[in-house]
Amino acid sequence: MNPGRFGVSICALLLLACPALAGGGPGKRALRAVEEAIDEAKQAGKACRQAVLEDLEDAADRLEKRSARPEKARRALREAREAAGDDCPRKVQAAIRDALEALEDARDGGASGGELLLDETFDDNRNAWWVGATDQAESGVQDGRLWLRHHVAGGYATWMTKPVRARGDYRFELTLRIHQNLDNYGCGLWFGSSDANNGYSFEVTDGGQYRLSYFEGGQWRDLTGWQAHTAIQAGGVQWITIALARQGRRWVLQANGQTLDTIKARELFGANIGMHMEARMTCDFDRLRVWGE
């Protein structure tokens, strides 16, 4: 499953650095995030309120009690995220995702927190992502999403770039969904690259699998192989949030707030970060975020 050559677009600016713990405690931040999601849901329409409020309030109750039950709170939030669907506006869905991510930070002791350096929601194209059409690919920014369609075999990446402290801790996070996957490959994060021939790819499939791999000098190398995990929904057009965090000497791979794998961290080739996809497929990208000091 060796991908072919990349088509690439170099986009605007991004600062990556090292995360530090934010004030207030990760547990309190998680509860605040859940409460913010509740507030957003209460302002939404009746269908949205009926779909998610009970689960959100259940999650808050699980976190407020002296004997907090974060795992049950996490389960309630996941149910709320699934129930939101088309009944809830994007800001409610985003608030639920934020609450899940804050809860994951609390489980990790806040190690993936720190200052939010980038929050790209694709509400417009102020960051100058490539949009247009070629024989190989086409893309656009529309309805708060960047969509990318690839027509041929091989890989394609689009990115933002600025120098980073590559030996420090960092966290990259991307929310995506796969519309079409003709060749049974994946799409996801493209990070730590210096150019099209040197960089890392953390991708997922609509069959419930993930893989971490990299290119060096144009040669593809596999780090994990394709692995199945229940955190990655299989089948249908579903949103999934994936994250890669450097914590000390380890890379932690996550999906939907659950840890998929940990492996020894490698040195980055460069400072580029963005999105990557394989073969003939269509993906939507809803949010790209980076944390650091």
pLDDT greater than 70 at residue 18 = no
pLDDT tens digits, one per residue of 98-139: 888 778 766 654 444 456 778 899 999 998 898 999 998 899
Tell me the pLDDT band of 156, cut-offs 50, 70 and 90. confident
Residue positions counted in the chain: 293
Q: Tokens 């269509």 belong to which residue?
A: 282
Distance of alpha carbon 265 from alpha carbon 250, whole angstroms: 5
CA 99 to chain centre: 14
The pLDDT assigned to 117 comes to: 77
Dihedral pair phi/psi, residue 206, rounded to 5°? -85, 10
pLDDT tens digits, one per residue of 170-219: 889 999 999 888 777 899 999 999 998 999 999 999 889 999 999 999 99
Q: Where exactly are the structural domains of the chain?
A: 7-21+112-292, 26-107
For the segment(s) 7-21+112-292, the CATH number from 3.40.50.1110, 2.60.120.560, 3.40.50.300, 2.60.40.1230 is 2.60.120.560
User: What is the pTM assigned to this prediction?
Assistant: 0.66
pLDDT tens digits, one per residue of 128-146: 898 999 998 899 999 899 9
Q: Strand runs (DSSP E) across the chain, as ranges?
A: 7-13, 115-120, 132-133, 137-142, 145-150, 155-161, 170-181, 187-195, 198-204, 209-216, 219-222, 227-228, 240-247, 250-255, 258-264, 272-278, 281-292
Task: Report residue 229 as tokens.
Answer: 């995990």
3-state secondary structure 47-74: HHHHHHHHHHHHHHHHHHCCCCCHHHHH
CA atoms within 13 A on the CB side of 31: 13
